[in-house]
Amino acid sequence: MDHLAVRDRGACVSHDPLANAKELIACESVTPARGRVFDAMEQMLTVLGFEVDRFIRGEGAEGSDEEPVENLFAIRRGAAGSPHFAFAGHVDVVPAGEGWSTSPFGPEVRSEPGGDLLYGRGAVDMKGSIACMVAAVADIPAEAGTLSFIITGDEEGPALHGTRALIDRMRERGDIPDLCLVGEPTSVNRLGDMMKIGRRGSVNIWLEVEGTQGHVAYPHLADNPMPKMVAILADLDALVLDEGTDWFQPSNLEITEFNVPNRAHNVIPGKATARISIRFNDQHSGASLSDKVIAIAEKHGGTARPIISGEPFLTPPGAFSQMIADAVKAETGVEPEASTTGGTSDARFLKDLCPVIEFGLVNATMHKTDEAVAVDDLATLTAIYRRIAMAALSN
């Protein structure tokens, strides 16, 4: 399907979440996403009266392997001073991988024993949710209040030039929402059973110990870095960071790589490297944990280079989470659990703008081959999103 086909079909797509999802899935948008998938988003939103702002960030310097990222901010303004509710998400997807029973970017509906399923990369994470967001606002009158979409092409990648760039753009424009809902797939066993009111922070730290290469028979002429690295990792592995809090599970530190490039049996290596990843709750900050690891590494003669990818955040239970719970229960009869478990999302950036909560589809097949969403869930999620938006705009 070319861009012209997307434009021609846009006007008849926006009200139908299944058609929207098919349209988006058919746009191959492995991270970082640009172009065609944003053409589809622009058409869906333009016909609904949204002003669409698309822009590129992250053009790498010459010789850099950095790829540019496309982002989209769309807004439909209500009356001056009316509430502003935002939907947020990403249209980039992880690579399809091997072993699909269908084309990963050829959306296909199949009848299964439990009901019809829509297959395709991004069906769950998270083009399906975005399709529902668009369909949800199609029936909300413009006079109800201000609605916006915060859509990035760089959530599954480094997340350097995506939502953070969108936040800068929104601040420049003066378009700051009162509340924001991120459509990540938060449901576990059935649609509606979980929402995310916070997330743990994340820091990855690269460790290095320099030694002196030499012959194993002459250790006094060499300096083996491996015992030092083992001591660093042993100290780190023994750390108990905390016991958790009322809303967060205990922080955990995991050794994710240990590497000594040495192919000879009779050579003391000259360098050892390792990497750790820490997911941490709100008893810590990325900086405080980085300082702790740096001190341990230096104690044993090594160095540590941290990259903090997000700080923990919590949107305390209150009016916003109750809006979501009420909408979910009205459409499904389910009381969603408020949770902070799981990985990170772009909510870690959006929380700097306004209160943010994540709620979306069942996450069982995200990032897997044969990723699929129940067609009935698309219709139900659309109704839930419509209720949430209407409640937020009338608040």
Label residue 12 by pLDDT band (50, 70, 90). low
Q: What is the pLDDT of residue 59?
A: 72
* Active site members: 92, 155
Angle 73-393-145 from CA coordinates, rounded to 5°: 60
The CATH class that applies to domain 3-199+312-393 reads: alpha beta
Q: What percent of the chain is modeled with pLDDT above 90?
A: 90
Residue with tokens 């009381």: 335
Local structure of 194: helix, strand or coil: strand
The CATH class that applies to domain 201-310 reads: alpha beta
In terms of DSSP H, where are the helices of the chain? Answer: 3-10, 17-25, 36-46, 127-138, 163-173, 226-237, 286-299, 319-332, 347-350, 375-393
Q: What is the pLDDT of residue 64?
A: 52
Q: Where are the domains of the chain?
A: 3-199+312-393, 201-310
Span 352-367, mean pLDDT?
97
Q: What is the pLDDT of residue 61?
A: 45
Q: What percent of the chain is modeled with pLDDT above 70?
A: 95
Q: pLDDT tens digits for 269-326?
A: 999 999 999 999 999 999 999 999 999 999 999 999 999 988 999 999 999 999 999 9
Q: pLDDT tens digits for 89-99?
A: 999 999 999 99
Q: How far apart (Å, rounded) are the C-alpha atoms in residues 347 and 353?
A: 10
Residues marked as binding? 90, 125, 156, 184, 367
pTM of the full structure: 0.89
Angle 344-346-349 from CA coordinates, rounded to 5°: 110
Whether 6 has a pLDDT exceeding 50, the answer reads no
Whether 235 has a pLDDT exceeding 70, the answer reads yes
Residues marked as binding for Zn(2+)? 90, 125, 156, 184, 367
Task: Name the average pLDDT for the chain.
Answer: 94
